[in-house]
Amino acid sequence: MSQLAGDEPVATVDTPRVTELVRELLIALGENPDREGLVDTPARVAAWWRDFLCPAPLSAPTCFTETRASDQLVVVGGMSVWSLCEHHMLPMNLEVHVGYVANGTVLGLSKFGRIAQRYAGRLQVQERFTHQLADEVSSAIASEDVAVAVRGVHLCMSMRGVRMETARTSTLQAVGRFKTDPVLSQQFLTLIAGQRGAA
């Protein structure tokens, strides 16, 4: 088990057992797991679960001293990660935007994506993902001034159930100055809107 700052451990996967269970699942679904096209399916599915739930460990987030980045709003947006809804075990695609106020220290840009991938690689709900990402970024930059906005497409809501294909769920976790300073909060939302427009 590996451990993230302030978070529960990431699961380990019993791949041989998952392979067996997927084979059982195929039988329960009325399929023949020994037919040509399905012979390797249980092992493939188990390998996918292992890769999805056990992402590479997160190295210490690289920060740089940048004294001229003082009181500067930095927004890394348009990041897309796949997660799995914990109620139906169906995919959700999360478009992620992270903002923070740099004050002499900046975080390596790719690290926002790596942190997002880490928290997406588990059974999730969008609200918890949004909160966890804000917490982790805040701890990486040692500052409370963080905002995370997420727009999710949930297959459990579009391909099944209520079947609303165009529904999108937006969540926003604003902490520190993003919560108390309406100008900063508005700047964040404006920059995000611009990034969405560019995509």
Ligand X SMILES: Nc1nc2c(ncn2[C@@H]2O[C@H](COP(=O)(O)OP(=O)(O)OP(=O)(O)O)[C@@H](O)[C@H]2O)c(=O)[nH]1
* 124 phi, psi to nearest 5 deg: -135, 170
Sorted by sequence, the CB contacts under 8 Å of residue 137 that are 6+ apart come out as 98, 100, 107, 112, 115, 146, 148
Residue closer to ligand X, measured from CB, 106 or 156? 156
Does position 156 interact with Zn ion (CB under 5 A)? The reply is yes
State how far the Cα of 154 lies from the Cα of 109, in Å rounded to an integer. 27
* Closest CB 85 distance from Zn ion, rounded Å: 3
CA distance 94 to 77: 11
DSSP conformation letters of 58-94: PPPPPEEEEEEEEEEEEEEEEEEEEEEETTT--EEEE
54 assigned ligand-binding residue: no
CA distance 172 to 149: 4
For residue 194, state whether it binds ligand X (rule: CB under 6 A).
no
- Pick 42 or 121: Cβ nearer ligand X: 121
Rounded Cα–Cα distance for residues 128 and 199 (Å): 26
Identified binder of ligand X from the candidate list 10, 101, 157, 174, rule CB under 6 A: 157
Binding mask 11-30 for ligand X (x = CB under 6 A): --------------------
| 154 binds ligand X, rule: CB under 6 A | yes
Tell which positions 39-68 bind ligand X, by CB under 6 A.
none
Beta bridge partners of 99: 75, 147
Q: Residue 125, interface with ligand X (CB under 6 A)?
A: yes
Q: Minimum Å distance from CB 151 to Zn ion?
A: 16
**Which of Zn ion, ligand X, none binds 172 (CB below 5-8 Å, type-dependent)?**
none
Those residues whose C-beta lies under 8 Å from the C-beta of residue 29, and which sit 6 or more positions away, are none
* Piece in contact with ligand X (CB under 6 A), picked from 3-11, 97-105, 109-117, 151-159: 151-159
Q: Which of 10, 18, 35 is nearest to 119 (CA)?
A: 10
Binder among 16, 161, 170, 180 for ligand X (CB under 6 A): 161
- Taking Cα atoms as reference points, which of 56, 44, 58 lies closest to residue 15? 44
Decide: is 164 part of the binding site for ligand X (CB under 6 A): no
| C-beta closer to ligand X: residue 62 or 170 | 170
List residues near Zn ion by CB under 5 A: 85, 87-88, 156
The footprint of ligand X (CB under 6 A) covers 85, 87, 125-127, 154, 156-157, 161-162
